[in-house]
Amino acid sequence: MRCPKAVSSAFVVTTLAILSFAAGGSASAQDSAGTVPEVDEEVLLPYVLPEAGPFHPEDIEIENSDAIAAWYRSAHADDAAEAFRHWDEDEGGIRPACSVCHSGAGFRSFHGLDGSAPGIPETPIEVGGVVDCGTCHNQNLGTVTEIAFPSGLMHPVEGVEAACMTCHQGRTAGVTVEEAIAALPDLDAPNAELRFVNPHYATAAASWLGGYGGAGYHYEGRDYYGRFFHAAPVSTCVSCHDPHSLEVAFEPCQTCHLADSPDEIRIARQSYDGSGNTGQGIRTDIANNAALLLSVIGRYADEVTGVPIIYDGGSYPYFFTDANGDGAVDQADGRPVAYASWTPRLLRAAYNWKLVTSDPGAFAHNPPYALQLLYDSIEDLSGPLGMDMADLHLLR
């Protein structure tokens, strides 16, 4: 849900009548949340747009108002979000490498849609731009026919998927982890040079392409499920997600799935999480195995590296040191101490765990791949812990 906006120099107030109901939506959302902050009257003015502007009001046809209203309430338009504000204090604006996915202007520059040569922009991009209309509605977008993934894969794309796949692919891949640990033959020896490898966020396209996309760390000798083709009417990003509101309508799912909500959907007749419960949605099997993997990661740190680890999802780089095992993150100079006792085995499991859990839609984007990555990571850690996989009753 969008945050209330303050009218400041960062915003311009337009008098575009067709936007009035979009803002009406955010105002009532504030009321129902009961958290209306202290704001001056002006804030509730209906026509507040980001200054970097998603569009020029005079160019917008009145028929666009539904699209605008839906987009305006979506995460793509939320110019107060960390994903668009992270660079506020940086001199010059959004770092070029980051701007590709964190602003429409950076995206256009990257693909050369703005007349520039394709590639990472040469200079920082002004903060304040969001995923604006011109990101997807761009007459040159059709010239983008393949997208490079962090694994090195060049994936052919058509239409707007060129956009979704550029930004929702994550920033690292299994090969990033492989390279980091390649020269370290002892899988259980902590190495002070190793750092957590973060897949980044909202990595839907990476999950979706599965083993073919190579986002996960693939264990030797294992086969991985490829792209999740699903079924014809739900085989592209925008066949499930409304491109403006980004929401997934549930009714179309019900033509094929008998369930009360997406969370309850299940086709698999076996239980993957050892619960034996085939009445729950496949999402629950994935969530349970992810929770199990995180606890096995904790046990491995305690027993094998000897330096307890704590995960804190709200704070980069997410994995921290708890050397005295008191359950609290160690602090040095007033800052939390990042985990620095990674072994190759621990790093690859933690990477896979973060990749699967970075995509809340993994259960719909590629459930078999998510389950395989979790299973293999648990199995790999179980060896040095002397755990018997058979006791867990998991399925791969």
Planar angle of CA 217, 131, 234, nearest 5 degrees: 60
Question: Among 105, 112, 145, 144, which residue's Cα sits nearest to residue 126?
Answer: 105
Task: Kindly write out the interface string for residues 201-230 of this chain, putting x where it contacts ligand HEC by CB under 6 A and - elsewhere.
Answer: xx-xx--x---------------------x
Task: Kindly write out the interface string for residues 265-304 of this chain, putting x where it contacts ligand HEC by CB under 6 A and - elsewhere.
Answer: xxxx-------------x----------------------
CB atoms within 10 A of CB 327: 8
365 lines the binding site for ligand HEC (CB under 6 A): yes
B/e letters for 112-150, b = 16+ CB within 10 Å, e = fewer, are ebeeeeeeebeebbbbbbbbbbbbbebeebeebeebebb
Among 38, 41, 59, 82, indicate the residue that binds ligand HEC (CB under 6 A): 82
Which is nearer to ligand HEC, 163 or 297 (by Cβ)?
163
CB atoms within 10 A of CB 57: 14
157 lines the binding site for ligand HEC (CB under 6 A): no
Residue count at the site for ligand HEC (CB under 6 A)? 71
Binding to ligand HEC (CB under 6 A) within 90-149 occurs at 95, 97-98, 100-102, 107, 131, 133, 135-137
Among 257, 274, 291, 384, indicate the residue that binds ligand HEC (CB under 6 A): 257
Question: Among 219, 237, 217, which residue's Cα sits nearest to residue 228?
Answer: 237
Planar angle of CA 53, 55, 58, nearest 5 degrees: 120
Binding to ligand HEC (CB under 6 A) within 184-203 occurs at 200-202
Would you state the structure tokens that stand for residue 44, as one six-digit string? 């509730």
Which is nearer to ligand HEC, 71 or 219 (by Cβ)?
71
Among 44, 184, 187, 238, indicate the residue that binds ligand HEC (CB under 6 A): 238
Which is nearer to ligand HEC, 197 or 253 (by Cβ)?
253
Please, which residues have CB within 8 angstroms of residue 223's CB and are 6 or more apart in sequence? 211
Which is nearer to ligand HEC, 100 or 290 (by Cβ)?
100
Q: Say how many Å lie between the first and final Cα of the chain, rounded.
A: 36
Which is nearer to ligand HEC, 50 or 308 (by Cβ)?
50
Would you state the structure tokens that stand for residue 366, as one six-digit string? 């590629």
Torsion 277-283-284-287 (CA) sign: positive
176 lines the binding site for ligand HEC (CB under 6 A): no
Question: Among 123, 146, 150, 158, which residue's Cα sits nearest to residue 216?
Answer: 150
Closest approach, Cβ 105 to ligand HEC, in A, equals: 9
Closest approach, Cβ 166 to ligand HEC, in A, equals: 6
Question: Among 158, 270, 164, which residue's Cα sits nearest to residue 207?
Answer: 164
Among 243, 274, 298, 336, indicate the residue that binds ligand HEC (CB under 6 A): 243
Binding to ligand HEC (CB under 6 A) within 48-77 occurs at 54-55, 60, 63-64, 66-68, 71, 75-76
